[in-house]
Structure 1
């Protein structure tokens, strides 16, 4: 009888060690603005980058400002349209973009608070760009047709569509009792846009140099600093340890990225793809070679942009990045209040790039890159 009890105890212990439900504990939390929803739009790139800039304002001034995501979108669409038409349709045109597009927009047109430009018209309470995107695509495709000359006023047509669906552009507004222009508001926030760099890790380009990453949404041909994978992750960890957040571009097409359960993981064994969403399972060892292979065979693509704002750990001590998403905070689609806990293996394999302050880089990396 005693032996039976001992054996039962061993079985229970063994089962527990292999089937543990996630229990997360905070390791590092960096102040950020609340999770919000991008609605029915493909503008995660602006939500990610705008949230990042909001966190930068908090970090440098202690002031929390709700910035307008849609102001950046409104000023980026004309650039995408010009690129598509002047390349005679041999370019990407759609709702997507990358983190540097918001930095470029802010540099050219400034930034505004949400109260000055919501991008919502006609009593809308949520964003939906489906019809707007269709109208814009129809217009640019017609004017990129080499069998005919573009309409002399096609750019005004783009502006008319944007105004119809997002509202008139804003050139002056009042915030906390003071009048600003968008560029004046940017200056007030004390953001220095020259301080931000995008880093990545791909073996097909030289390390410690910049290169143009060939992904569909890089319509503006933004440059990325390249480095070995271990160093890429080291810089992400260094930034968080020093109190800096990072804007993230990643692939979320994996079955094991789940907003609903709030985790993003890479199982070592394919049979664990379902259970790993709720239970701790062994994860894959991700090398530079595997990362490159998954990029080259299109298993890793730039699907979605988010915002890394901290770290958590599970009861076994495994570390996860706390990633602020833009699918809302209180609905059936999300857990953890809208945050996703992304494992280190998932980030190593599926993170396309991160945007961060250059002072958040490891000293050795900063010197190697010359920034």
Structure 2
């Protein structure tokens, strides 16, 4: 009897395992690179700083350095200061807000250095988490007031006033600090503790309104620095993702997350194919029998893999031209997986805390990445020799 019960229990367990494998998304790891813990930007528009520094924290690990928790608000502070000066010089014809881009992070590393989070938390205003609504409004009101003044010329005090606001909210910037008994300046910390050369990092995109294999200033509102990206065809862009991960480099990912197929709670970003005529014959009859409401519910249930759109250069460009693809969010890609149907997904580290299905991570399908990538940040050595030659990169 015990043997029979044991056998039955074993068969029952096998049945459960088989059932589990047939349900939901089942991911098999292809590449999985080291990354630091998931952080929380909370109620601040600083995803670009969180993802950019997450990228550089992974770079420190790759370079054999002690992984650090770097200060996102050190970057934000310097960018707000320099952005204000440019905003005033341009008579207000510049987007002045909390948003930014990967260029900003590299710019701060190169020009101002870096400090750890415990040296500069940027929480100088009575909050435990980053809540920037008041600060953003105060800074915008201040620089607009500078522009509207009736003196007909700028005073020598306006920049000091701005720095006073930044000091009040984020804290005064440190000139030196200690880490493990060693004294650093922010500039020395980048070179010695991080081992980073900011000139080694580039941004890449793929849009046909500029020539391929050249550079252009990417036209998004948050690009206040007018930073340039290298432009490559879509297939080349996708090859960079895989070659980077295969070679041990993570990817900074700027993307549009406003699509219905982006679900942080479910940890997925997909682009379901809603055009029945594009589905295989075996699937068409099943979907034709459903009402439109039933189709939409099934497509976006996130319960199991669905057929996705085939994204071309033209589809991608049209979405950008029509403002359907916008520069919404910065994240970090740390790996690649495939589902039970062989579809490729990218493992994405987000900065919205860990309260979702995958503890702060999500999986973006190949179709979603092709469709909604605005630009990426990579180490230039993540490029193949052929692409380096085409882009004129040494």
Q: TM-score, normalising length from structure 2?
A: 0.86
Q: Distance in 2 between matches of 1:109 and 1:335?
A: 37
- Offset at 1:149? 3.2
Any idea what the Cα deviations from partners look like across 1:291-319, whole Å, max 9, x if unmatched?
Answer: 00000000000000000000122111211
Q: Which moved more, 1:161-170 or 1:147-156?
A: 147-156
CA contact (8 A) 2:75 2:108 kept: yes
Gaps of 5+ in 2: 1-18, 276-294
CA contact (8 A) 2:261 2:300 kept: no
Instruction: Look up the match of 1:319.
Output: 344
2:31 to 15, 25, 28: 28
- Offset at 1:279? 1.9
CA contact (8 A) 1:172 1:180 kept: yes
Gaps of 5+ in 1: 1-15
Q: TM-score, normalising length from structure 1?
A: 0.91
Q: Distance in 1 between matches of 2:379 and 2:23?
A: 37
Count of aligned pairs: 351
Q: Distance in 2 between matches of 1:346 and 1:306?
A: 14
- Offset at 1:236? 1.1
CA contact (8 A) 1:265 1:283 kept: yes
Q: Do residues 219 (structure 1) and 241 (structure 2) align?
A: no
Instruction: Look up the match of 1:309.
Output: 334
Q: Distance in 2 between matches of 1:229 and 1:84?
A: 34
Any idea what the Cα deviations from partners look like across 1:182-229, whole Å, max 9, x if unmatched?
Answer: 001111121011100100000000000001011101110000000100
Q: Which moved more, 1:80-89 or 1:138-147?
A: 138-147
Instruction: Look up the match of 2:253.
Output: 248
- Offset at 1:141? 1.1
Q: Do residues 358 (structure 1) and 380 (structure 2) align?
A: yes
- Offset at 1:79? 1.2
Within 5 Å, give how 1:258-269 maps onto structure 2. 258-269=263-274
Larger radius of gyration: 2
1:175 to 153, 171, 179: 179
Instruction: Look up the match of 2:4.
Output: none
Instruction: Look up the match of 2:127.
Output: 124
The root-mean-square deviation of aligned C-alpha atoms, in Å, is 1.6
Instruction: Look up the match of 1:149.
Output: 153
Any idea what the Cα deviations from partners look like across 1:161-188, whole Å, max 9, x if unmatched?
Answer: 1111111111111101111100011111
Q: Distance in 2 between matches of 1:363 and 1:253?
A: 35
Any idea what the Cα deviations from partners look like across 1:82-137, whole Å, max 9, x if unmatched?
Answer: 11111101111100000010100111110111111111125532111111001000
CA contact (8 A) 1:267 1:276 kept: no
Instruction: Look up the match of 1:201.
Output: 206
- Offset at 1:23? 1.9
Q: Do residues 275 (structure 1) and 280 (structure 2) align?
A: no
Within 5 Å, give how 1:288-307 maps onto structure 2. 288-307=313-332
Q: Distance in 1 between matches of 2:164 and 2:304?
A: 51
Any idea what the Cα deviations from partners look like across 1:233-254, whole Å, max 9, x if unmatched?
Answer: 1011100011100111000010
Q: Distance in 1 between matches of 2:124 and 2:142?
A: 21
CA contact (8 A) 1:111 1:182 kept: yes
- Offset at 1:324? 0.4
Q: Distance in 2 between matches of 1:164 and 1:93?
A: 19
- Offset at 1:154? 1.4
